[in-house]
Amino acid sequence: MSANPSATTRPTESPGPRAAAFAESLQHTFATAAQALSLDPARVADIQARFAREYAELWSGLLRADAPPPEVKDRRFVSDSWRANRFSAYTAALYLLNARALFELSEAVQADAKTQQRIRFAVQQWVDAAAPSNVWALNPEAMQAAIQTQGESLRRGMDNLLADLRRGKLTQTDESQFEVGRNVATSEGAVVFENPWFQLIDYKPLTAEVHARPLLIVPPCINKYYILDLQPANSLVRYALEQGQRVLLMSWRNPDASCGHWTWDDYVEQGVLRAIAVADEIAAASAMPAKPAARGAAKPAKTEGGGINALGFCVGGTLLGTALAVLAARGEKPVQSATFLTTLLDFSDTGILDVFVDEAQVKLREATIGKGGLLTGVELAAAFSSLRPNDLMWNYVVGNYLKGETPPPFDLLYWNADSTNLPGPMLAWYLRNTYLENKLSKPDAVCVCGVPVAMRRIAIPAYVYASREDHIVPWHSAYASARLLSGPTRFVLGASGHIAGVINPASKGKRSHWRLDAGPRPGKGRTALPASAAAWLEQATEHAGSWWPDWAAWLAAQSGPLQPAPKAYGGGAHKVIEPAPGRYVKVRA
């Protein structure tokens, strides 16, 4: 539906015949679309009428030399270059008019929710790709840069394009300015355990005393762990250390071809469950003996504290929840509390990611890599970038290639570009049993590590955090996941999205969060969570600033008594292997 003025149009020509002809053509197009897609006729007629009217108004303004340029409210066209060039201003305005009509048409489709979402997603991809800002000959900023640099910007842009073609991915930041272990992932620590699936990092305490129960962090295996330790000022790892926690963290291996047979069970058994066992052994080796009840007591002193706390982020939270359900089925309880950050256990509503999952797509993955192979990090990164194409794709196409610019260094985008591969069998199981069939939310509907799992058997205190604008883990789905747990559960909602909501340092005083401080249900020993996310939000109170202090206070209550911080890394049989951040995190996809 693009409509750009012809270069041969004469200024004296009346826009009436053109607008009328276009309106007639448009009416036929809308009628055909309505019949093919089962569109609401009344809404289509309204969209058609408004489009034709505004289209004619734009043409009329373009053909009047004294008419001011149209107001274009879109950050892709905010530069003065777009307003100064009359043709460019109207090109942008016509594009936005077309885009709005397409989006309104997609909303008018009468179909099930999944089909509507896929149509909206497809329209978003097409509309964003078709922006005039993405075409050098239609982008006045790019043309101006070429004139000012005497063509140098074109040469740099071509160099950037060729370099990205060799790398196989779009450059989003100046990666030469970062190095894992030098200026990202810098918290001091040591690797004290490793197997083919992960390394376990034990961080140096930052307080003279630490709580008896260490905190084990399970990051997502889809990205590198250091999103939780980017810089000292925004490191959740460092913040936990400053609160008197002893922090252990899993650093997942970036799978290569030799790992293509790994399964979901492997990630749970050889990954999370093994990390829990090692952390528990370290905790036991570091535990201080309790004071005897009386002098001269003959019985050996018991240890205080006991067990560990665990935290899972995103897919790491799903793996942690699965592991805890396996432990519960086995009658074991080494984990005394769990924190879930933007985690899905109930996959009844998976938000925008649902567009990538249906029976046909899952069967395709099962047939191609389900028995062995890898989903490459490049493919995975491209899928996530397509969720926000303007921000993560076309913005850099314009800057890197059309203008010949080098993107500025940004640690978050460096982490985002440091992608990971995924083993095919693990991914195929994950897609079918969670996103497609939602079996983790159904008691004993699926077996993991040889036992049927049920989230309701997880009866330990839990802290569940969600982000209100999260497009990957919708907050109401995180809330539904919290209601699957049977222990005392605290749910907290933060502002912003999947990453910015989680990585919100308390020291910055930014954003806000919502809490509902409710007591336990009589006789059931769990926090009373209202039946729906909407009911919870209606009762919750908004608080300024980060949710981190609330979580730190909750975690301290689960962490046992304070004791002198350990003087050495590890404990028992677990000795230092190498300094943090270790080898695994440095392997590029």
Catalytic (active-site) positions = 314
- Spatial separation of the C-alpha atoms in residues 468 and 300, rounded to whole Å: 51
- Spatial separation of the C-alpha atoms in residues 245 and 183, rounded to whole Å: 23
Residue 276 host element (H or E): helix 274-286
Q: Which of 464, 471, 532, 463 is nearest to 496 (CA)?
A: 471
What is the largest distance, in Å, between two alpha-carbon atoms of the chain?
109
- Spatial separation of the C-alpha atoms in residues 298 and 475, rounded to whole Å: 54
- Spatial separation of the C-alpha atoms in residues 154 and 95, rounded to whole Å: 25
Contact 586, 197 (CB under 8 A): no
- Backbone φ, ψ for residue 337 (5° rounding): -155, 155
- Spatial separation of the C-alpha atoms in residues 411 and 414, rounded to whole Å: 5
> 201: helix, coil or strand?
strand
User: Which structure tokens are listed for 63?
Assistant: 């053909």
User: Which structure tokens are listed for 382?
Assistant: 């491209």
Contact 89, 70 (CB under 8 A): yes
Contact 420, 179 (CB under 8 A): no
- Spatial separation of the C-alpha atoms in residues 492 and 321, rounded to whole Å: 18
What are residue 311's DSSP bridge partners? 217, 339
List of residues 6+ apart from 367 with CB closer than 8 A:
none
For the chain, give the number of residues.
589
Q: Which of 415, 419, 435 is nearest to 427 (CA)?
A: 435
Q: What is the dihedral of CA 493, 237, 320, 329, to 10 degrees?
A: -110
Contact 230, 415 (CB under 8 A): yes
Contact 79, 132 (CB under 8 A): no
- Spatial separation of the C-alpha atoms in residues 376 and 259, rounded to whole Å: 12
What are residue 201's DSSP bridge partners? 191, 249
Quickly tell me which residue has 């006789």 as its tokens. 523
List of residues 6+ apart from 107 with CB closer than 8 A:
43, 116, 120
**Any alpha helices (H) in 421-539, and if so which ranges?**
424-430, 475-482, 533-539
